[in-house]
Amino acid sequence: MKNLLHRAISVFIFLLIGSPLWLVAQQDSTHIPIDSASISNMTLEQLLKIQESGVSSEMESMINSRIGVASKKSLSQRKSPSVVTLITQDEIEKSGARDLIDVLRLVPGIDFAVDVQGNVSIGMRGNWAEEGKVLLLLDGQEMNELLYSSLQFGNHFDVSQIKRIEIIRGPGSAIYGGFAEYGVISIITKDGEDIKGLTATASYGQTARALGYRDLSLSIGDKIKDFSYSLSGFIGQANRSDNTYTDLSGNSYSMIGNANLDPTNLNLGIHYKGLSFRGIYDNYQTTTRDNYGPVTTQAYPNNFISEYAELKYDWKLSDKITLTPLLNYKNQKPWNFNGIVAPADSSYTIYDKTAQQYRGSLTMLYDVTKKINVVAGTEFYYNYATLGGMDTQFFSNGKNNFGYSNAAGYAQVLFRYHIASLMLGARYDDNSAYGSSFVPRLGIMRKINSWNFKLLYSNSFRAPGIENIDLSLNGTIKPEYTTVIELEIGKEIGSNMFCTVNFFDITTQNPIVYYVDTSKNTSGNYEGYDNFPKQGTRGAEFDYKIKDTWGYVDVNYSYYTTAGKTVVPAYQVPGNNDMTLGFAANKVNLSVSYNATPALSITPTVSWFGNRYGYVYGDTGAYVKKFSPTTLANIFIQYKIGRLRAGIGCYNIFNADYEFIQPYNGSHAPLPSISREYEIRLTYSLNFKK
């Protein structure tokens, strides 16, 4: 850690020292430093538009743009009481990202791995986070399914509809509760005012061997005085890969046509003054032959169907106080399969459970004074699961239904003073199934001219999901608790560069882990969830951005280590105390976007992964393989002609053999990702007449 700290600080200082050279080379032609001559003829309107330091540059606009994910109080990135990342619509469009994996992979600390049944999900700072450890919000709706709390990635969400993504790369439980232990990803899609007409996007990807994907996205929306609406639809088909999967026994199959990722998604948003409604239908149909590792003789459906409805009202009691009552309902059928299984594939079983959540909350935003802001809220939810007609695996209570309730209260106070801003917050949950949780949070933020500093101490927790509770060892499971300490230093260099470095230390107590134990039950293997003693990582992330009228550059580096931390046995790399299975300790991302003309942009993106480890098939049985460093390089060229935006690109240019590795010892071999893929995308927008 000491070496890491020294190395990271050295790199940071080097870049700071070197920055004047960059400044000369990349001087913003639109930046007007304040001198009497430059502003001497400005009107009051013009004066009000410019920043204290001069005309806002592209970069200043970005780092000063306000985000609400970190505290529910809208603050600039530099003042937000979390380590945050903002991804804009412009960056997504220019990168040609096929799906959320392409977008999020470029974020420091985020990586992807395979679980079971073809599902690829997320890791955060070297920690596997598929089940309830990272909260994914789509227009405020929790995308984590209720049974296992898991997330599914791969041609699932429509990236063409995204307006911005706000990410907390650290804990968010003190406000967001039990799914936000390691991070929060909040996707905000375009609303009526953004769309103001009709937009259609068609995307097509092709590899040398098979269809990569084909997606169609349609949206309509408008704003008429205080009323606005947006309705978007997304339908698609994709192959997870065109490569061959080989299980740990050496059996293999071609993934073409056997690992389908077919989304259907509808998203409706209606706003009238402070009242808003959100309805989402998400039907993500996938197929799998990899099952829990050993391949099946044929592909079986593995579907994730969700419906969401939410009604909320922003009630402005005064200039200082806003109350937001909210009612939310979600209905889900995750990991769903209720068909017929071939006799040879008896390990693939029917799973037909429905989970529902009824949630109500009341949030108060109170600006006590200009310097003191309070966010407080209370939340109640009831989770309820039932068996479908064909599912005969009763819950552990012997019934065909299972439910529990949760009541929570949270508060956060933000003091903004000259010397520093101080954030104090905490959340308390009382759950009828697993008891209570209390997670405090403390942050000190300071901005001094072009520098900003954040020192953050956060407790967070993971709420066990329905199946975690139901399949728990001895019928008891506790929430896992995480303590994260983060330090971030940021520096705005000139008007168009911004650099941050952060250090983190994560310790999770009582991590909830799925495992199989042959010694527990004489009549067969015991499978289930249990709390293990500890899990943790520490590391650093570095991010350097240049943004200007000519385009942008973003280079970031992520590092984690498990040295000095306790690691759950299932996550350990045998003989290596520095890493966990599946995730590279070193990762570098580079995005460069160049506006060759106002209409033409060229955007290469590169992700470099250091060594990784995972279980693979060998002649003498499964063994842990060291995967050599891999580079995934992509390019996308976009051209705008009137209402049409056309783009072509190539993903995985070097045709690298990149595989999603299972980040725990769970009998699943690495799942190959797709080979080199050529992509074409057309977007046509038709504006409503005013």
491 Cβ neighbours under 8 A, 6+ residues apart: 16, 450, 451, 452, 498, 499, 500
CB burial of 430-466 (b: ≥16 within 10 Å; e: otherwise) equals ebebbeebebebbbbbbbeeeebebebebbbbbbbbb
Told to check if 53 binds other proteins by CB under 8 A, we report yes
Told to check if 641 binds other proteins by CB under 8 A, we report no
Told to check if 10 binds other proteins by CB under 8 A, we report no
Told to check if 36 binds other proteins by CB under 8 A, we report yes
The whole-angstrom separation of Cα 573 and Cα 614 is 8
> Which of 157, 232, 211, 130 has the alpha carbon at shortest distance from 468?
130
Which residue's CB is nearer to other proteins, number 455 or number 656? Answer: 455
Sole binder of other proteins in the list 3, 340, 418, 522 (CB under 8 A): 418
Sole binder of other proteins in the list 214, 223, 359, 446 (CB under 8 A): 446
| Interacting span for other proteins (CB under 8 A) from 1-9, 217-225, 334-342, 387-395 | 1-9
Please give the size of the binding site for other proteins, defined by CB under 8 A: 34
CB of 359 to other proteins, least distance (A): 32
**Residue 686: both structure tokens together:** 């038709």
- CA angle centred on 456, ends 454 and 457, rounded to 5°: 165
CB of 167 to other proteins, least distance (A): 21
Which residue's CB is nearer to other proteins, number 196 or number 454? Answer: 454
Which residue's CB is nearer to other proteins, number 8 or number 606? Answer: 8
590 Cβ neighbours under 8 A, 6+ residues apart: 553, 554, 555, 604, 605, 606, 608
Told to check if 444 binds other proteins by CB under 8 A, we report yes
Told to check if 52 binds other proteins by CB under 8 A, we report yes
Are residues 138 and 158 in contact, defined by beta-carbon separation less than 8 angstroms?
no
Residues 62-101: x where in contact with other proteins by CB under 8 A, - otherwise, as a string: --x-----------x-------------------------
CB of 558 to other proteins, least distance (A): 18
> Which of 656, 681, 676 has the alpha carbon at shortest distance from 207?
676
Told to check if 48 binds other proteins by CB under 8 A, we report yes
Are residues 626 and 613 in contact, defined by beta-carbon separation less than 8 angstroms?
yes
| Interacting span for other proteins (CB under 8 A) from 40-48, 195-203, 350-358, 638-646 | 40-48
| Interacting span for other proteins (CB under 8 A) from 33-41, 80-88, 167-175, 262-270 | 33-41
Told to check if 487 binds other proteins by CB under 8 A, we report yes
CB of 85 to other proteins, least distance (A): 19
Reduced to 3 states (helix: H, G, I; strand: E, B; else coil), residue 89 is: helix
Which residue's CB is nearer to other proteins, number 345 or number 367? Answer: 367
Could you identify the residue written with the tokens 């970005």? 62
Told to check if 225 binds other proteins by CB under 8 A, we report no
| Interacting span for other proteins (CB under 8 A) from 45-53, 268-276, 284-292, 340-348 | 45-53
> Residue 225, class by beta-carbon neighbours within 10 Å (0-12 exposed, 13-18 middle, 19+ buried)?
exposed
Are residues 70 and 85 in contact, defined by beta-carbon separation less than 8 angstroms?
no
CB of 540 to other proteins, least distance (A): 11
Told to check if 448 binds other proteins by CB under 8 A, we report yes
| Interacting span for other proteins (CB under 8 A) from 37-45, 253-261, 623-631, 674-682 | 37-45
**Residue 662: both structure tokens together:** 């299972």
Could you identify the residue written with the tokens 């927008």? 685
Sole binder of other proteins in the list 1, 202, 216, 218 (CB under 8 A): 1
> Do the bridges between strand 227-238 and strand 252-254 make them parallel or antiparallel, or are there none, so unpaired?
unpaired
* Residues from 494 through 523 that contact other proteins (CB under 8 A): 503, 505
> Which of 93, 91, 130 has the alpha carbon at shortest distance from 110?
130
**Residue 564: both structure tokens together:** 């000095």
Sole binder of other proteins in the list 3, 43, 474, 620 (CB under 8 A): 43
> Which of 677, 583, 634 has the alpha carbon at shortest distance from 126?
583
Told to check if 595 binds other proteins by CB under 8 A, we report no
Binding site for other proteins (CB under 8 A): 1-2, 5, 34-36, 39-40, 42-45, 47-48, 51-53, 64, 76, 370, 416, 418-420, 444, 446, 448-449, 453, 455, 485, 487, 503, 505
